[in-house]
Amino acid sequence: MNSINTYVRTLDIINRYNFTIRKKYGQNFLTDQNILDRIIDAAQLTKEDAVLEIGPGIGTLTGELAGRAGKVAAVEIDTELIPILKETLDGVENVDIINKDILKLDLRSYIADNFGDRPVKVVANLPYYITTPIIMKLMEGGYPFKSITVMVQKEVAERMCAGPGSKEYGALSLAVRYYSNPVIITQVPPECFIPRPKVSSAVIRLDILKDRGVKVRDEELLLKLIRASFNQRRKTLVNAIANFNGLSFGKEEIREAIEKTGLRADIRGEALTLEEFAALADRLSAGCQNIKGDTVPSEEENGMEKKLSELVKKLYKKEVSEATNAELYHALLSLTKELSREKKVIDGDRKVYYISAEFLIGKLLSNNLINLGVYDELEEILNKNGKSIAMIEEEEPEPSLGNGGLGRLAACFLDSIATLGLPGEGIGLNYHYGLFKQVFKDHLQTAEKNDWIEKDSWLNKTGVSFEVEFGGGVKVESVLYDIDVIGYDNGIIKLHLFDLKSLDEGLVRKGIDFDKEAVDKNLTLFLYPDDSDKAGNLLRIYQQYFMVSSGAQFIIKEMKEKGFDLYELDKHVIIQINDTHPTMVIPELIRILTQEEGFTMDDAVEVVGKTCAYTNHTILAEALEKWPLDYLEQVVPKLVPIIKELNNRIVKTNKDPKIRIIDEDKRVHMAHIDIHYGISVNGVAAIHTEILKNTELNAFYKLYPEKFNNKTNGITFRRWLLSCNRELTALLDEKIGTGYKKNADELEKLLQFKDDEEVLNRLAAIKMDNKKKLAEHVRAVEGVELDTDSIFDIQIKRMHEYKRQQMNALYIIHKYLQIKAGKKPKRPITFIFGAKAAPAYVIAKDIIHLLLVLEEIVNKDPEVSPYLKVLFVTNYNVSYAEKLIPACDISEQISLASKEASGTGNMKFMLNGAVTLGTDDGANVEIHELVGDENIYIFGADSDTVIKHYEKADYVSKELYKKSPVIKQAVDFIISEKALKTGHKENLERLYKELLNKDWFMTLLDLESYIEKKDEALNDYEDQQKWRRMMLVNIAKAGFFSSDRAIEEYNRDIWKLKKV
């Protein structure tokens, strides 16, 4: 390693790497060899020692430490410095470079795994703003440090060593003396640094005491008294302690304790020695334990606390403690946006554009604060003021930009793209009312507009706009809004949402009815407008073209602004088409290149064909969009000649009618465009991809085997663990470290505790706490009481016949009738549902009706209600899911085998310790493989059996109904006198006839197997140790289902992006 401890060499490295000094990290690089020598000497290092260096910068001190110590761990928060460190430390084998915030690093695990029995010493160059939190973490953590040698601002070093009566004396002075013997080694003038700081620094060594600096009965109380005394240092000790949020002693009680300690009643905290504080703590401790909360001694004003306080005062002229939750939400929204602006926008020469009709992003406050790394700090600040982030987040409107798994997956993927540092952006539409707000009236679903956009929101208007032209000379203007997607411990990417400039919200009449033909005013009102008539179908096409035309123009604009050659579009752009809704981006790009950029058709088709990739999310025929050609001629006449040309090119080379884009009925198959004119076709679970290859898309697979690949879906652990289950997160942090937050495979470390009774009991306690939280929320929102000692059996997902909520309803009927006959379950069962049915999907709405009817019948029956409860939650959304999933015992994943592409709810439940009851379908297959037969409940016909039934057309539900008394009894109850008395005859009879005469998704085929396996799961729950082990195994094996893993695979095999 070359010496870099000179001004010239340091400056050369900074300039060569084009490194920008960042004030937020307090960066000042030491250039003086004499000071380096003093630091090394002060640390008293030997080859037996291990060194933890905090803030190595460019490695000036690191190399010196490596020469003296046996092993060095250099922890650097600034990612931009890592390449420099790797260069300056090239060839130095005993240094481990860690790109991490020291406050977030699991020191205990790291030291145990890497330092072994070596004596550990800390050496650091600490910026002013973070000195106290780091020093307190190092001293309070109980780590095996021998000494801490740090360079800090001179005034901070003086405060550490100050005694009573001086202005420097404070909480930091006392805390340091409680844990160590401080010695100032030398002063360091500003000219020893690049850049020069405004004040002098000092090197101080803290020799850690084997025993504390003073004996005290209650260490927590002592530290709180110290904090209280200097929180308002000009007040008397009596008033300071009485006013402190973390303590609740009365003034007389405090005064008496002070006087009995031998001190004056009017004394201030700055006059007490450490020994006198200890004596006072013992005196108060002997009286009672009046301690609230949990605080860390610190004299320096918390920077985040100051920011929040000043912001609330500026906005509302109030203290934080006086502000309403709504006011604090808007203050935190503003603060989060400010903090995100300090983050680097991830960009690169090649970028993925993820185009999707849906982005079900959920509420963003907690997730953004977690990803920014400030959640815990702000929660502590708010707690001191009687507030909490959870309470405040209740004020946040949930963005209504998606409906089901498709949109939620897109949101998880954007989170992972940002977290992994990949250049990428999302492209979608800014729906003002989303799908709809669900309300139940008379046991029926009704729809109202979901008005979620506020003046002050996460949306940022950009000023970018594009003209979009439809048939008939109709021209509209799109305007672009962005939402920042903040990566976990990384930079940000953008979710681009296009809105209609001429939108007229006044078009919406009663419920969600509006004029579908007024396309110049309605395009971004609703997601998936009712398409049960021609006007609805046309509107869907208008909406999709509006999205892809705006997106395509945006992509071309970015290409030009970066100076890239459009003939090399595929080298700089990869477009991931999320399901078939964005398919028209392919002919639209070809149109732009040929009609506006001078490309030949051959050149345009070639470059666009190498730019797009397609994700298939379904094998349901009705979900693979096919638009009548005359509809496209009406809406997008400029695209029709291009689509015909694309089709002609296929017909010329292949006579198989199954692979044509335009079929004999003059329908345009959108998925066929994606497959023919894209580089990749991926399924979203192993079994789903095999079904595509072997059956549904077999003709295409034979033609393009190299295009087909699997990318099993995943979920972001930031939202579905760190945010929604903080107690479980804390347990995992404690037991296996924090590495799983970036590398989910590390969850498998939890398996070592599979037979650890203490860990299993804590998992059960966490589950119970989450059930109680859910019960409180349900009580407040639904007015329903839940028995938290009951088994929570939960099915939450889009309402659809193939997902078979109707089968769950038949089980409830079966159980209800058993109880009425005297056969009671060992433990009460609570069945919870959450789902929306598309407004035009009649049978789906009938299933909701049946479940609401059962809810009333079961819950009001005094014989049954002690043992069964049914709850259909209102307006199920992401926020509700974040409460339901951590509380679940049994996760219902009961789709007909071969019909669920993947599912992601199954992964979320698994991660939070629920046990899956399901078919071998979608990602259930991979869950089954990971956890083993003994940790999942699988039932029903397999995919091959189901597919054969469809091929042979030999499934007759009525035959099963006639043969099985169990099936007949359950199905007949739907039109029983009891059910019809509560529900509507039209809805119940229609559903009854559907099950008997059609049952397209084979509910009755699997019903008896379902009942048997579900009863087995309910019985197993009584063996709590067995059940808790199952919970643990499911959590430990969930790492595979991280969306980070999925995105890594997309990038490896399809996108080929360079991480930033």
**501 included as an active-site residue:** no
Decide: 73 and 52 in contact? Cβ < 8 Å.
Answer: yes
Q: Match 């929102």 to its residue by tokens.
A: 781
Beta 193-194 vs 180-188: how paired, if at all?
A: unpaired
Query: What are the φ and ψ backbone dihedral angles of 92, each rounded to 5 degrees?
Result: -90, 110
- 803 included as an active-site residue: yes
H helical segments located in 464-533: 519-522
Give the Cα separation of 224 and 233 in Å (integer).
14
Question: What is the chain's Cα-based Rg?
Answer: 32
Query: For residue 1002, is it left (φ>0), alpha (ψ between -120 and 50) or beta?
Result: left
Catalytic residue among 516, 617, 800, 899: 617
Give the other-Cβ count within 10 Å of 633's Cβ: 15
Q: Does residue 797 have an active-site annotation?
A: yes
Which residues have CB under 8 Å from 956's CB, separation 6+? none
Kindly give the pairing relationship between strand 475-486 and strand 460-469: antiparallel
Q: Which of 177, 449, 693, 797 is catalytic?
A: 797
Separation between Cα atoms, residue 799 and residue 833, nearest integer Å:
10
798 is an active site residue: yes
Please say whether the dihedral angle defined by the alpha carbons of residues 59, 60, 61 and 64, taken in this order, is positive or negative: positive
Which entry of 236, 904, 919, 1003 is annotated as an active-site residue? 904
How far apart (Å, rounded) are the C-alpha atoms in residues 185 and 188?
10
CA distance 795 to 52: 49
| Pair 389, 379: CB distance under 8 Å | yes
Phi, psi (rounded to 5 degrees) for 291:
-115, 135
Which runs of E-coded beta strand occur in 210-343?
Answer: none
Could you tell me which residues come within 8 angstroms of residue 549 by beta carbon, excluding any fewer than 6 positions away? 466, 468, 478, 584, 588
824 is annotated as an active-site residue = no
CA-wise closest residue to 492 among 445, 544, 424, 555: 424
- Residues 6 or more apart whose CB falls under 8 angstroms from that of 376 comprise none
- Residue of 71, 741, 908, 1014 marked active site: 908
Tokens of 294: 């949990």
Strand partners, 52: 73, 122
- In terms of phi and psi (left: phi > 0; alpha: psi -120 to 50; beta: otherwise), the region of 472 is left
Q: Which one of 177, 767, 803, 845 is the catalytic residue? A: 803
Question: Residue 452: exposed, middle, or buried by beta-carbon count in 10 A (0-12, 13-18, 19+)?
Answer: middle
Catalytic (active site) residue 904: yes
Report the C-alpha gap between 557 and 478 in whole angstroms: 14
- Locus of tokens 């690093």: 105
**Residue 365 amino acid letter:** L
End-to-end distance of the chain based on CA atoms, in angstroms?
A: 27
Using alpha carbons, select from 253, 41, 39, 207 the residue that is nearest to residue 126.
39
Which is the catalytic residue, given 408, 771, 798, 845?
Answer: 798
Catalytic residues: 617, 797-798, 803, 904, 908
